[in-house]
Amino acid sequence: MQSQAFEMFGSRRIASGHGVEEARRVLSEVFLPVDFPSAKPRNAVDLTLNAAAVGGIVCGFMRFGDAVRVRTAEARDFHVDIPISGVATMRAALGTPVRGTPTTAAVFMPGRPVELDCSDRFSQLALMIPRDQLRLELENLLGEPAGRPLEFTAQLNLAGTGGLTIMHALRMVDGAAAQEDGPLTHPLATQRLEQIIIQSLLFGQPHNYSALLAAPSPTGGSRPVSRAVELMRSDPGHPWTVAELAADVSLSVRSLQEGFRRSLDTTPMTYLRRLRLDKVHHELSTAGPGTVSVTEVATRWGFVHLGRFAGEYARAFGEHPSATLRQRRGLPRHA
């Protein structure tokens, strides 16, 4: 028997109960309309549901105590179902079923109903990603309109690149959701988490545009790169995306990325992170005693993984951010 101890987004509890109607209501409000075809009106559906919004993306955790069959309405958006415990047979419309396990998830496209036949003690993470947002990111990366609907391979390997990156992002969301004034209250941090989740799918899970995304893209010379650098340096606190920068300098996203790689041996977002690191360093170096914390300043500038941030900061400035702040307060560097 698998453990049920693992749970995410526990600070964002939506529901915990046994009523069929209540389970229908909360799942329909958070995700999309659902039904329980095997449950009679007086039967219990033992459901626990937690959910956190990351911009337009809904990240949820749901657990069923007993075996249950769930049938959804036609989805408007993209859904990713990631089993944590138990197993489930997951099928979209008349497609090939996916056997969902803690190593195999499923990706479902818009416009199709889905049926989940879940074992007892089944739990999963559920992502709902807006169709328009995912399509826009794809078109920005391609540098041209997507003429056909985006179609992912249904089965997602959780040990593969896409699966591992998505799980890493969800753990960061879980930690952020537990903080009352944490990263999810800061636009730059929320934007970063959204981007990680969406690009994890687009680059990590096979789909009908994967070959185009992998194809080389022409560059537009060094002038657009210089202009993009000027834009970021003039306002590093703006919630820049690569798509916005590319549009402002009249390049495709891939052309801008390739231009940065050739001219500066980096990416636009890595360059922007260094600019924001400089801002953090300046704030910590000039802060009055007791006025700020490292976490507060780092989060405000869009750094959501504080351990990684501390490592980047130390490599950039030769000391940990806490040492910079202690030095400003007149305390010994290693106090």
Which residues constitute the domain of residue 287?
271-328
CA separation for the pair 120, 325 (Å, rounded): 51
CA separation for the pair 94, 294 (Å, rounded): 52
Q: Best-predicted range by mean pLDDT among 44-48, 105-109, 140-144?
A: 105-109
> Could you tell me the pTM of the whole model?
0.77
Contact 104, 157 (CB under 8 A): yes
Among the listed ranges 217-226, 269-278, 291-300, which one has the minimum average pLDDT value?
Answer: 217-226
The b-or-e profile of 299-311 (16+ CB within 10 A means b, else e) is: bbbbbbbbeebbe
CA separation for the pair 292, 334 (Å, rounded): 19
What integer best gives the mean pLDDT of the chain? Answer: 89
Contact 119, 181 (CB under 8 A): no
> Is there a domain that residue 248 lies in?
no
Strands 104-108 and 57-64: unpaired
**Mean pLDDT (whole number) for 191-196:** 88
> Is there a domain that residue 187 lies in?
no
CATH for 18: 2.60.120.10
pLDDT bucket at 43, cuts 50 / 70 / 90: low
Our count of domains for the chain comes to 2
pLDDT bucket at 50, cuts 50 / 70 / 90: very high
> Is there a domain that residue 178 lies in?
no
pLDDT score of 151? 96
Structure tokens that stand for 300 in this block: 């405000």
pLDDT score of 231? 95
Q: Give per-residue pLDDT as tens, 63-111.
A: 999 899 999 999 999 999 999 999 999 999 888 999 999 999 999 999 9
CATH for 278: 1.10.10.60
> Is there a domain that residue 230 lies in?
no
Q: Look at 40 and 319; give whichever has higher pLDDT.
A: 319
> Is there a domain that residue 299 lies in?
yes
Contact 111, 145 (CB under 8 A): no
